[in-house]
Amino acid sequence: MKNYKIALIKGDGIGPEIIDEAVKVLKAVGGKCGFGMEFNEYLMGGCAVDACGTPLPDATLEGAKASDAVLFGAIGGYKWDSLPRELKPETGLLKIRKELGTYANLRPASVYEELLEASPLKPEIASGVDLLIVRELTGGIYFGEPRGRDENKGYNTMVYTRAEIERIAKVAFESARKRRGKVTSVDKANVLEVSQLWREVVIEVSKNYPDVTLEHLYVDNAAMQLVTNPKQFDVIVTGNIFGDILSDEASVLTGSIGLLASASIGDKYAIYEPIHGSAPDIAGQDIANPIATILSAAMMLRFSLNEIEAADKIEAAVKAVLKDGLRTKDTARFGAVRVLGCVEMGSEIASRV
């Protein structure tokens, strides 16, 4: 029997609660599909600062590199907001992404018909939305040099190399091949030289994928199109800062960030996590929605472990609980037959697996 080694980074706030439910579902699907999992826990974020004096201990980084994949909950909270930058929980997340070389952030956004009324868009616009944003994660303006500030000026540098653009474009085109065969590249090539290079390189890469349609949009137009005609999109590929903004915009279309998974993948390592934060205001109350984390676990099975059948079973189980009217507090007002806590929702999904 195959056995996979999974690093668990539960983090802060609701992180431990939602990770526990994802593990419950993973054990259920492993038993059903004939594979095992060895789970090892590591610290990152505020809990790591408290225990080790750093947001990313060396042991965590070593454990992540020794694993087949990383399943991560959430980090941060009011307790650590006043710390200097090098000690902030979020610094640990940025560092582990960089150290593991997870340069591609995959953010699916799908509107469930059972939760159609939860979307802020009109039903006829939101119905059928199913897109994937591929965001470059380790380059661009967040990492470019030089950067700095004084009393009167602050500056950052947006830099992309040909190699960085090529590898993220390949991820987008490969993803589109598994979906509906369309890539929309988002840039600001009418203003930015870095975007002009981005567009040129994406076009070059597209020649290796004649079965995939390529189109280009400026980022401001893409932002408008996401709320006026989101069904046109299949895979969107873009740089770090544009992807940060557009993926958050896309997440709103679904009606609840408690439903949205994500993956940060590289050539060797991968991190899977829900898109929401640590929600310290509801931590420990058994009201968090574990679905985003459970769907992140399904992405882990699909992209890192190639356990496609298991991923399909988890995604089908999530759809089944929603169809049956089972809701957590964040979506309780949308067709709820019964409102569940975090633990019970995890159990219901596991039972359907």
Per the annotation, the verdict on 220 as an active-site residue is yes
> 298 with 311: CB under 8 angstroms?
yes
Order the strands of the 213-218 sheet from edge to edge: 35-42, 2-11, 69-74, 270-274, 261-265, 104-110, 130-136, 235-238, 182-187, 213-218
Verify cis geometry, omega within 30 degrees of 0, for the bond prior to 146.
Answer: yes
Place of tokens 């930015």: 192
> Pick the catalytic residue: 81, 248, 281, 324?
248
Q: CA dihedral in degrees (348, 351, 352, 353; nearest 10)? A: 120
> 269 with 65: CB under 8 angstroms?
yes
> Pick the catalytic residue: 244, 313, 329, 330?
244
Write the DSSP string, 38-63.
EEEEE--SHHHHHHHSSSS-HHHHHH
Per the annotation, the verdict on 244 as an active-site residue is yes
Per the annotation, the verdict on 188 as an active-site residue is yes
Per the annotation, the verdict on 58 as an active-site residue is no
CB within 8 Å of 84: residues ≥ 6 apart: none
> Pick the catalytic residue: 142, 170, 218, 286?
142
Per the annotation, the verdict on 231 as an active-site residue is no
> Pick the catalytic residue: 24, 188, 313, 329?
188
The number of CA neighbours under 13 Å toward the Cβ of 76 is 14
Sort 231 into a burial class: Cβ within 10 Å, 0-12 / 13-18 / 19+: middle
Residue 295 carries which side chain, given as an amino acid letter? L
- Residues pairing with 122 in the sheet: none
Place of tokens 């507090």: 329
Where do runs of H (alpha helix) occur along 207-307? 219-228, 240-253, 291-303
Place of tokens 């087949």: 68
Q: Which residues are catalytic?
A: 142, 188, 220, 244, 248
